[in-house]
Amino acid sequence: MPVVLRHYVAVVDAVNHRLGRVMMYGVFVMVAILLWSSVSKTFFVPSLWTLEVAQFAMVAYYILGGPYSIQLGSNVRMDLFYAGWSVKKKAWFDAFTVLVLIFYLCVLFYGGIGSTAYSLGHFGTEPFVFLKDLAVAFVTGGPDAAGEVLGYIERSPTAWRPYLWPIKAIMCLGFFLMLLQALSELIKDIARIRGEEI
């Protein structure tokens, strides 16, 4: 395998491994939020924010932990035939299924970008152009210039009414990292097919 691909696999695996190890502690964040929810409902005035923050924490935990799960191979797999196959046959099968996963992640990422742009007030058909214009405005003119690019910012319809763009941006980041990890797994599968190990 070329050195560039080996370096790509090493960097992506390292980033997703570290992020996955950090996200494992997201369970404790969710427990703390839900514990506070129970305590506040029992002894104080119920908090409006706890349920939605717990949902947002769960989404971040699940989506940002996804690349690490792919890396460890802890995704659901039907081992009826797979367990008895040779390493090369498993690599062929994994390479095919990773290609399907890459297509699925591309669709999710595109939809996530569109949804994030919508939550920032873009109601057109070019979400990538809108986000590029927003980033350029922020870098060149600061928050005030970016504010002029933004439209009506989407909020949750609940009583607490938080902005939705932060969690949608986290979802896009997670889809992007999963896509990078899936490409890393494809490179490793191709290396196994060729009799190499990365």
Q: What is the pLDDT of residues 8-17, one digit of tens each?
A: 999 999 999 9
Domain layout of the chain by residue ranges: 3-75+85-193
Identify the pLDDT of residue 179: 97
Q: How far apart are the C-alpha atoms of 187 and 179, rounded to whole Å? A: 12
pLDDT at residue 186, as a whole number = 96
Query: In the structure, what pLDDT confidence band is assigned to residue 172 with cuts at 50, 70 and 90?
Result: very high
Number of Cβ atoms within 10 Å of the Cβ of 82: 12
Tokens read off for 188: 């490793």
3-state secondary structure of 189: helix
C-alpha–C-alpha distance, residues 151 and 139, integer Å: 18
Residue 84 has pLDDT above 90, yes or no: no
What pLDDT, on the 0 to 100 scale, is given for residue 47? Answer: 83
**Cβ atoms of residues 98 and 113 within 8 Å:** no
Residue 92: per-residue pLDDT: 94
Dump pLDDT digits (tens) for 24-77: 999 999 999 999 999 988 888 888 888 899 999 999 999 999 999 999 988 777
Cβ(27)–Cβ(47) under 8 Å? no
| pTM greater than 0.85 | yes
Instruction: Look up residue 101 and give its two tokens.
Output: 């996963």
* Count of C-beta atoms within a 10 Å radius of residue 50: 19
pLDDT at 24: 93
Return the closest-CA partner of residue 27 out of 57, 67, 64, 70: 57
Distance CA 78, CA 149 (A): 48
Decide if 85 contacts 144 (C-beta within 8 A). Answer: no
pLDDT tens digits for range 113-162: 999 999 999 998 899 999 999 999 999 999 999 888 898 999 999 888 99
- pLDDT given for residue 137 in this prediction: 93
